[in-house]
Amino acid sequence: MFSLNVRDHFMIAHSFRGDVFGPARAMHGATYIVDVEVRRPSLDDDNLVVDIGLASVALKDVLADLNFRNLDEHDAFAGQNTTTEFLAHAIFEQLAGKISRGDMGAAAAGLSSMRVTLHESHVAWASFEGDLPHNSA
């Protein structure tokens, strides 16, 4: 299995509901480093997993909707605790949509799976990983 990873970061504010979150129930900020790993069983005709430039742009586009935002006020997350795990899944879904629409180029149709990892700090991170549907991008 071949893989390619792109990385970016974003900064948010949010709060959580529920006693399990202790002091994080209050408004606080986070800066996440995001790693996106895409995989395919064989390289494309140009010997690439996917165009690294297009993958970087797609990630930057998804993060632009989150960066410098108070996620408590983000319509897409109404009523949700925007935990690191939750956000990894949300970013996965947005990127999977971009892949399906061809935003990472036609060769991205050969991608088989993806993992999105959000690094909350140097000692804690969470990921969401899943298969990608075959598409005709």
pLDDT digits (tens, 9 = 90+) for 16-36: 999 999 999 999 999 999 999
Q: Residue 10: count other Cβ atoms within 10 Å of its Cβ.
A: 22
The count of domains in the chain is 1
Please report whether residue 18 resides in a domain. no
Please report whether residue 48 resides in a domain. yes
- Domain that residue 44 falls in: 2-7+31-63+86-131
Please report whether residue 38 resides in a domain. yes
Q: Residue 118: count other Cβ atoms within 10 Å of its Cβ.
A: 24
Please report whether residue 20 resides in a domain. no
Please report whether residue 76 resides in a domain. no
- Of 91, 90, 15, the residue nearest 58 (C-alpha): 91
Distances (CA, A) of 96 to 1, 25, 40, 107: 19, 31, 14, 14
Residue 91 sits in a domain whose CATH number is 3.30.479.10
Instruction: State mean pLDDT over 57-73.
Output: 97
pTM of the model: 0.93
Per the CB < 8 A criterion, the answer to whether 101 and 137 are in contact is: yes
In this model, does residue 72 exceed pLDDT 60? yes
Confidence of residue 125 (pLDDT cuts 50, 70, 90): very high
